[in-house]
Structure 1
Amino acid sequence: MQRVSPLRTFREYQSGWLRQDLPAGLSVFLVALPLCLGIALASGAPLFAGLVAGMIGGIVVGFLSGSEVSVSGPAAGLAVIVADAIAKIGSYEAFLVAVILAGLMQLVLGFIKAGRFSSLFPDSVIKGLLVAIGVVIVLKQIPHALGRDKDYEGEFEFQQLADGENTISEIYRAIETASTGAVIISALSLLFLIVWGRIADRSRQTSIKNFPVALVVVIMGIGLNEFFRVSVPEWYLGDTAHQHMVQIPTVAPGKSLFSIFDFPDFGALGDLKTYSIAATLALVASLETLLNLEASDRLDTAKRVTSPNQELIAQGIGNTLSGLIGGLPVTSVVVRTSANVYGGARTRVSTILHGVLLLLAVFLGGPLLNLIPLSCLAAVLIMVGYKLAKPAVFVKAFKDGWSQFIPFIVTVVGIVFTDLLIGIALGTVVGILFVLYSNFQSTFQMIRNGHNVTIEFEKDLYFLSKPQLKEALGSLQPGDDVLIDGSKAHFIDHDIYNMLRDYQDIAVVQGIRYELRDVALKKRVRKRNEEVIATD
């Protein structure tokens, strides 16, 4: 696998960025725009804070990251933590100090190489993470596609804080209250995306493969909605249902540009709550980043390997800057990364471009972008979600065997019906249990030849092997000649040793000839001592 170099010159990107990264950057921008706003709303923060985090995640983290495809920005997984932290600390300005401190903590984690712990997550769990995110994207975007926007864009938890519904009941409510205009826009957008996707798959022309299809869908959505305004007012999604449109905050008349920024209140440094909030943000944001980075590397078509320590440093710098100018905390985000990869991205240029476009959108394109219906963006996201969670992925996971499929499906179900971190934790625990089960299934082998029986230890024996070994001893018959061979085991657990010694008395009563060969407590220590004596 190719390891990503931390520094690359712009000249190395020039040959391909316009053809592949420009359309991908546009796609990510269109997806990220409502997500940044929605996550800010769900966090109880100013809407502009979400856009600031998106800009920092795109431009700063995108430039410093070791990944060529990962996209960072405000994360749905932090929304509840942020909302609770703002309430505890008293103001958003004080909370920004915690964001700055969290960024500095991430820098320290990067420098001490804490990113190595990302490799501890089982492969089946990372696969489950990607599929689960795909499923959640589809489920969460169906209401927006039908014109119901009670739940914030970007919220991915099953239980919805915005309206008291959950993912499933929200879809039911959306079907009950479906807007004809939104349904028409999302249906035509989906149809166009599907048809164009098939054409692009069959075509060999680069111009067709790299066509900015998401941009066309957005233009089509705006055009249809404006047509409804003139010809079919009852289907129009603007004035009567403004919540269904993208809503970029604008500078109030007579106010300066800096009036929409928030700046940290460093007086919060005297409050101990600031430090506990910062530690929580640093821990959760780093964990989400490392998980998403593993997923990003898996999505990367060039199969490049990213340094997790470099990513933590990039995220730390990003969060420090985001806090200084009023932004939410940032992490690497699978949704935007997926949109980036499936948009055709090859290098970090697409990530940086999406951040630049967010910047331009706020200061130059607000009135135009506020004409975009969320239903057409929902269609774009539904296609991204489907590509992540195709039925073929489930079939392949099943064919990999139960030890891979069970942790995979537990992760998927856990994320879909709880949230990302709980789902990952459940999948990881199940994955580790399967590893332990598989490992302790092969700790010894029992060979019977008539009444001659050999129980040979294949590796170290711990207490988890006790039930299986007890069953093997219980199967011995009167007249058996039994040899317990522990020569291959460097360590034998105390419980195992006692059981083997106790069975000697049982063997005498049952008429079994029973011999222990090279079986002792703390054999690893004993052998090491023998080696030292021999050396002397």
Structure 2
Amino acid sequence: MFKYIKNDLPASIVVFFVALPLCLGIALASGAPLFSGLIAGIVGGIVVGSLSGSKIGVSGPAAGLAAIVLTAIGTLGGYENFLVAVVLGGIIQLIFGVLKAGIIGYYFPSSVIKGMLTGIGIIIILKQIPHFFGYDADPEGDFAFFQVDGETTFSEIINAINHITPGSALIGIIGLAILLLWDKVLSKKGKFFKLVQGPLVAVIVGIIFFVITQSNEFLRIEQSHLVSVPVPEGIDSFIGQFSFPNFAVIANPEVWIVAFTIALVASLETLLCVEATDKLDPHKNVTPTNRELLAQGTGNIISGLIGGLPITQVIVRSSANIQSGGRTKASAIIHGFFLLISIILIPRLLNMIPLSVLAAVLFIVGFKLAKPALFKQMYDLGWKQFIPFTVTVVGIVFTDLLVGIGLGLAVGIVVILIKSYQNSHFLHIEDKSNGKHKIKMTLAEEVTFFNKGAILKELDSLPMDTYLELDVRKTRYLDNDIIEILDDFAFKAKERNIDIQLVSERGVVENPESFIEFFSLRPKTSKN
């Protein structure tokens, strides 16, 4: 696992700086203790990272679950009661893994997955604009269009323009310049600049800027615009930050409803992220999805037992890991240890990091996910790829991740139905003979009820006095709905003076009396 430590260690530092504000921000957006987000990040890195089969995926608290957590804490009567649902949700995820439900992850269309990555990239950029300029009314990690502070994504940007904090904006610009210089120029100059990542330099410069501008009324950065890690006053104070589930409420049906909701949503987000990260991975590793569900379930059980938020694999941290050159699961695990060690040893130092610098880091992550060239690439692939892609992007930006994915998936299914409608059969007119049109219709290998409309349309459009050759030699599966259509047509064909020749692997039948009877006697194939 440590074979690529020269790649994984620098990547883990970048992931650490991306994860830190998101763990805190998601906890704040969820109405949970700030420390609960850090617990989830640590467990997601160390525990899930160790058990997962993904080489580049990173797990932690997910923005997509924030609204569910916020509502559930109130519904269940407190955070300790909610933790019971987190533990039970983890157990349900283990059951999903044992039942091999991870196979669902392989059925998301590529256009929707690419739309998801692009939509998240755009959301990251839009959501970080206010933080970049020092307007931090909405917590980090709130990725929904309708925000927890009552604003929307775009109204928040407008408010930010009217409330720019000079010091935050300046160090944000300096940090972004450092990142661009590192990425475009210095990283190509030698091994040192690959080992020491630009985000680490930007964060160090940000801390120095905060310290030296404290006496400057114009440029000083207030605590509300900095990272806000809880600072314990000793070992007892640190241990006191952990919460534990109140299992006395385990018989409450609402706890089980929340648990199943967490398990379902967390599993879907994880499977989507697995599919997306595997597409981003330049080394094209394939993550075992059932093992991933087992790892996530274990992580959620442990996180819930010690007071952490629910965990999923998350695309922002995973993509930051990939972009920074992470090669193995060591980068995810090390980032978890960085979170743990830093909140114990250097919480006050972490609280000197301007959020605007971390926003600059996320700008780069977001832009690499949502490159403009991808829109042209998807457009060039045709409308059947471009429309689900675009709907997913727009849905994510104007609603949230799961709704956007759902809309894209729905459109993708419609596209599949249209393609199925078009590909049910091949039809061409061969010649005219004996005063009749001779038409040959060859059915596809698999013909289902999706194809009813197309076949009905073609059969009804046949003119009178036609000779129809129906070739089913290549057809391995013929839905009963289609057989009934053919049987009905055989009756109507007599009235329209249409002769039918049925060509099958069993030979040729002229004007079959009953298609239902014919196909009921047909030998079963391996696909039936």
TM superposition score normalised by structure 1:
0.89
2:354 to 367, 370, 373: 373
1:145: Cα distance to partner? 0.5
Residue-by-residue CA offset, 1:32-60 (whole Å, 9 max, x unaligned): 11111111111111111111111111111
Distance (whole Å) between structure 2 residues aligned to residue 87 and residue 419 of structure 1: 22
Identity %: 46
Is residue 129 of structure 1 aligned with residue 113 of structure 2?
A: no
Code of the aligned partner of 2:413: I
Partner residue, 1:236: 220
1:235: Cα distance to partner? 2.3
Partner residue, 1:192: 178
1:498: Cα distance to partner? 5.3
1:421: Cα distance to partner? 1.0
Aligned positions of 1:14-413 closer than 5 A = 15-17=3-5, 19-161=6-148, 163-200=149-186, 202-203=188-189, 205-230=190-215, 232-238=216-222, 242-252=223-233, 256-413=237-394
Confirm or deny: 8 A CA contact 1:106 1:286 kept in the other structure. Answer: yes
Code of the aligned partner of 1:154: G
Any idea what SS the aligned residue of 1:454 has?
A: strand
Distance 1:508 1:116, change over 3 A: closer
2:523 to 488, 513, 528: 528
Code of the aligned partner of 2:334: L
Distance 1:528 1:283, change over 3 A: same
1:500: Cα distance to partner? 4.5
1:250: Cα distance to partner? 1.4
Any idea what SS the aligned residue of 1:233 has?
A: coil
1:374: Cα distance to partner? 0.4
Any idea what SS the aligned residue of 1:527 has?
A: coil
Distance (whole Å) between structure 2 residues aligned to residue 287 and residue 498 of structure 1: 38
Any idea what SS the aligned residue of 1:142 has?
A: helix
TM superposition score normalised by structure 2:
0.91
Code of the aligned partner of 2:217: P
Any idea what SS the aligned residue of 1:246 has?
A: coil
Distance (whole Å) between structure 1 residues aligned to residue 4 and residue 355 of structure 2: 31
Unaligned 5+ segments in structure 1 are: 1-11, 532-536
Confirm or deny: 8 A CA contact 1:37 1:51 kept in the other structure. Answer: yes
Code of the aligned partner of 2:202: V
Confirm or deny: 8 A CA contact 1:490 1:524 kept in the other structure. Answer: no
Confirm or deny: 8 A CA contact 1:93 1:262 kept in the other structure. Answer: yes
Distance (whole Å) between structure 2 residues aligned to residue 85 and residue 299 of structure 1: 34
Residue-by-residue CA offset, 1:348-377 (whole Å, 9 max, x unaligned): 221111111111121111111101110000
Distance (whole Å) between structure 2 residues aligned to residue 300 and residue 380 of structure 1: 20
Distance (whole Å) between structure 1 residues aligned to residue 525 and residue 117 of structure 2: 51
Residue-by-residue CA offset, 1:411-430 (whole Å, 9 max, x unaligned): 11111111111111111222
Distance (whole Å) between structure 2 residues aligned to residue 279 and residue 508 of structure 1: 58
Residue-by-residue CA offset, 1:308-357 (whole Å, 9 max, x unaligned): 11111111111111111111111111011111111221112211111111
Distance (whole Å) between structure 1 residues aligned to residue 481 and residue 67 of structure 2: 46
Confirm or deny: 8 A CA contact 1:250 1:366 kept in the other structure. Answer: yes
1:457 to 443, 459, 467: 443
Any idea what SS the aligned residue of 1:147 has?
A: coil
Partner residue, 1:9: none
Distance (whole Å) between structure 2 residues aligned to residue 384 and residue 440 of structure 1: 40
Distance (whole Å) between structure 1 residues aligned to residue 245 and residue 464 of structure 2: 80
Any idea what SS the aligned residue of 1:16 has?
A: helix
Distance 1:196 1:61, change over 3 A: same
1:170: Cα distance to partner? 1.1
Unaligned 5+ segments in structure 2 are: 504-511
Any idea what SS the aligned residue of 1:345 has?
A: coil
Confirm or deny: 8 A CA contact 1:491 1:521 kept in the other structure. Answer: no
Any idea what SS the aligned residue of 1:73 has?
A: strand
Code of the aligned partner of 1:168: F
Any idea what SS the aligned residue of 2:169 has?
A: helix
Distance (whole Å) between structure 2 residues aligned to residue 25 and residue 522 of structure 1: 66
Distance (whole Å) between structure 2 residues aligned to residue 208 and residue 400 of structure 1: 38
Code of the aligned partner of 1:278: A
Any idea what SS the aligned residue of 2:60 has?
A: strand
Confirm or deny: 8 A CA contact 1:54 1:73 kept in the other structure. Answer: yes
Residue-by-residue CA offset, 1:413-469 (whole Å, 9 max, x unaligned): 111111111111111222222122212212112221243222222244444334333
Distance (whole Å) between structure 2 residues aligned to residue 525 and residue 476 of structure 1: 26
Distance (whole Å) between structure 2 residues aligned to residue 38 and residue 469 of structure 1: 55
1:196: Cα distance to partner? 1.6
Confirm or deny: 8 A CA contact 1:139 1:171 kept in the other structure. Answer: yes
1:69: Cα distance to partner? 1.0
Confirm or deny: 8 A CA contact 1:491 1:523 kept in the other structure. Answer: no
Confirm or deny: 8 A CA contact 1:93 1:265 kept in the other structure. Answer: yes
1:210: Cα distance to partner? 3.0
Root-mean-square deviation (Å): 2.3
Distance (whole Å) between structure 2 residues aligned to residue 85 and residue 522 of structure 1: 57
Distance (whole Å) between structure 1 residues aligned to residue 320 and residue 211 of structure 2: 27
Partner residue, 1:428: 409
Distance 1:269 1:380, change over 3 A: same
The 4+ residue runs of structure 1 with deviation greater than 6 A are none
Distance 1:460 1:336, change over 3 A: closer
Residue-by-residue CA offset, 1:71-108 (whole Å, 9 max, x unaligned): 11111111111111111111111111111111122222
Distance (whole Å) between structure 1 residues aligned to residue 124 and residue 213 of structure 2: 28
1:522: Cα distance to partner? 7.4
1:523: Cα distance to partner? 5.9
